[in-house]
Chain A
């Protein structure tokens, strides 16, 4: 299977994914609790937020390019940029499960993963690599769903935002298993089972 085959399949799957995300949204509505912020939680589940920050303006430019590519190739993600004032705020959001995905410089990503330097107050945060973007990294929480990582990496692969010739070789931030699976030509992982036995896809 060529990279092009995989990308074409990714886009077909993305259309099916729209329906699954709809079901997932319904599940999220049930799970989000009755807080004033419940729908904010749903918003953050409904949209794949691409974290970036003002202190490194390049991350915002890259986030907008990533969002544009995902809109074209994985529209079900409903991706949106989410610009924090600095990388410390991203650490807070990633560390408290308020955000799943962000763009960071390699140095910030390594420091955040290790809980060192300015990120010491947030402790070590389990981060995984989805793909390099420009000269930065698109990273995610380590519990980001394997299938979602496969779809995101697949949707961005071959686009102008990803440097040519990316491989699953190791780096400072380990690849997410779903992303590595895509790069190694493995099939899309199966959706996780619904948490309550209902027919809704929990994605």
Chain B
């Protein structure tokens, strides 16, 4: 017995003397960390908001390293839990979207593919969803700013502006991609200029507010070439695809040596469609790992995704679904059709093989359902649809009436 006491005392003394000797001290990963510096992207050498091959790398990483990116929200905003819709009108749209990086991947060359696995997303405690006038799928119907502030944890988000709603944590990178090469810049600028000339939506380079200013700003040598971040392109970027959850692997073709990997614009949660124009937008700490697939750029010419059960894990356990057909009122030209042959479709009440109008109708019905059955106002319902309603193609064969459905995750309503 005395021996036991003596041994116990010795063990306790041993613990006391080496308190830190636990598994925390055992490491094997090499981490490449890009932290935020300063309040905004303009203050931060690890942040940029335009795409061009001349943007210098902020860090270098080897395949297999853990790349930890501290990212900013899509608007590089100053919004917080006290923000109101009046704050939206003062948003500077030239600052969209702040990206963290680029990271030079050692050994990656133009023509390769990098496989980017999303290891983790640690979200900030605050996020927001907004209606911005002129932006979003129903921009003709929602013309005033509206703001919902969210309180976030690793399990769910709630909002004082959305009573009775609890949105599960299903975070992903709204924007992730690689830098374009010079041939891609020239090709993409040309095709977008042609689209703009045809009356379509195109966003030409804007040097004011462009970062890094030394490359893309008003005095920068590439101010007329730096690509805006709104449209996703073959280099990835603002794809807003919610299935890119933690554990999935994104394949991206490399257009420059080192690839120039970047990420940002994290969405805490989003429905397929992101219909109001924003998801639950937030800053976050994103952890990635990268492998190189040599020479695969000849077959992987744009972003593609490998995944597992993640696609099932974000499915609702209970849902409500509306069905949209390509029907419309006579004289109406929905905004997405306004640039091509609108004079031909204006008086039609049934469009042929038209997924856009079918989606619009499914969504409008869903917003009406949310208002009717869950007591939210029309703006709250539109916001909720943006974060918890999935637009899905039902069929593309039963001509002329293709079907798009809107699927509401009913799990978001608290008992």
Contact = CB atoms under 8 A, between A and B. Distances in A.
A and B interact: yes
A136 B199 CA distance: 44
A142 interface: no
Contacts of B135: 36-37, 39-40
B295 interface: no
Interface string B94-129: 100000000000000000000000000000000000
Nearest to B144: A43
Contacts of B89: 43-44, 47, 49, 80-83
How many interface residues does chain A have, given as a range?
20 to 34
A51 B89 CA distance: 9
Interface string B157-199: 0000000000000000000000000000000000000001001
Contact of B202 (A35, A47, A81, A99): A35
Given A51-B90, A89-B90, A36 B196 contact: no
Given A40-B132, A43-B143, A85-B78, A34 B199 contact: yes
B98 to A, nearest CB: 15
Interface in B182-221: 196, 199-203, 208-209
A50 B143 CA distance: 18
Given A36-B203, A36-B230, A83 B86 contact: yes
B93 interface: yes
Contacts of A82: 86-87, 89-90
Report which residue of B84, B87, B196, B339 has the largest number of chain A beta carbons within 10 angstroms of its beta carbon.
Answer: B87
Interface stretch (A90-98, A109-117, A149-157, A186-194): A90-98
A36 B90 contact: no
B347 interface: no
Contacts of B196: 33-34
A36 B143 contact: no
Nearest to A53: B90
A101 B406 CA distance: 42
Interface in A25-42: 33-42
A81 B145 CA distance: 12
A122 B134 CA distance: 27
A84 interface: yes
A80 B86 contact: yes
A65 to B, nearest CB: 13
> Which residue among B86, B90, B133, B230 has the maximum number of chain A CB atoms within 10 Å of its CB?
B90
A35 B78 CA distance: 24
B304 interface: no
Contacts of A37: 93, 134-135, 203
**Interface residue range, chain B:** 20 to 34
A12 interface: no
B139 interface: yes
B208 A96 contact: yes
The SS class assigned to the A binding surface is mixed
Nearest to A54: B78
Contact of A92 (B92, B203, B339): B92
Contacts of B200: 34
Contacts of B143: 39, 43
Contacts of A49: 89-90
A93 B93 CA distance: 10
Contacts of B84: 83
Interface in B61-104: 78, 84, 86-87, 89-90, 92-94
Nearest to A38: B134
B202 A34 contact: yes
A40 B22 CA distance: 56
Most interface-central of A35, A81, A92 (chain B CB within 10 A): A35
Interface string B280-295: 0000000000000000
Given A40-B134, A41-B134, A54-B78, A35 B201 contact: yes
A142 B199 CA distance: 33
B166 to A, nearest CB: 29
Contacts of B93: 37, 40, 98
30 contacts: A33-B196, A34-B200, A34-B339, A35-B203, A36-B230, A39-B133, A39-B134, A40-B132, A41-B134, A42-B133, A42-B134, A43-B134, A49-B89, A53-B90, A60-B86, A80-B86, A81-B86, A82-B86, A83-B86, A83-B89, A84-B87, A84-B90, A85-B90, A89-B78, A89-B92, A90-B90, A92-B92, A96-B208, A98-B92, A99-B90
Given A80-B89, A89-B92, 19 more contacts: A34-B200, A35-B201, A35-B203, A36-B201, A36-B230, A39-B135, A40-B132, A43-B89, A44-B89, A54-B78, A60-B86, A82-B90, A83-B86, A83-B87, A83-B90, A85-B87, A89-B78, A89-B90, A90-B90
In the A-B complex, the 8 residue pairs with the smallest Cβ-Cβ separation, listed nearest first, are A39-B134, A85-B78, A82-B89, A84-B90, A43-B133, A40-B134, A82-B90, A81-B86
Interface of B: 78, 84, 86-87, 89-90, 92-94, 132-135, 139, 143, 145, 196, 199-203, 208-209, 230, 339
